[in-house]
Amino acid sequence: MGFSINAGLLDAMVLSIVQRNDTYGYEITQYLRKAVDISESTLYPVLRRLQKGEMLETYDKEYMGRNRRYYKLTSQGETSLEEYREEWRNHKKKIDSILMDEGAEENEQA
């Protein structure tokens, strides 16, 4: 990826992945890799941060004779995700207005 992903964006994407269904670290990384070049090690601090911010909570579930830590979105995380999405829409619009020359057209039309 030519564009760097900042921490806020990463947080938002992780929240969105977990919102779909409860999942575990390795799977979250695999999802993220569809869009961003991150390694398994990058995710841990993100998860930790979200956990401390009480946006995610964890529970252990047995899988093949061991425990796997599942992440679950909290209601606070849900709210936060909506804010992130709204923010992203605005952000995207602003970027697009310049990068895709969309805003210019709008401005011209206005």
Interface ranges with other proteins (CB under 8 A) = 24-27, 29, 39-42, 44-45, 47-49, 66, 68-69
- Class of residue 28 by CB neighbours under 10 A (exposed 0-12, middle 13-18, buried 19+): buried
Is 64 or 110 the residue whose CB approaches other proteins more closely? 64
How far apart CA 15 and CA 62 sit, in angstroms, is 23
The minimum distance between CB 62 and other proteins, in angstroms, equals 13
How far apart CA 28 and CA 99 sit, in angstroms, is 30
How far apart CA 85 and CA 100 sit, in angstroms, is 20
Is 68 or 72 the residue whose CB approaches other proteins more closely? 68
The minimum distance between CB 52 and other proteins, in angstroms, equals 8
The minimum distance between CB 35 and other proteins, in angstroms, equals 17
Is 63 or 92 the residue whose CB approaches other proteins more closely? 63
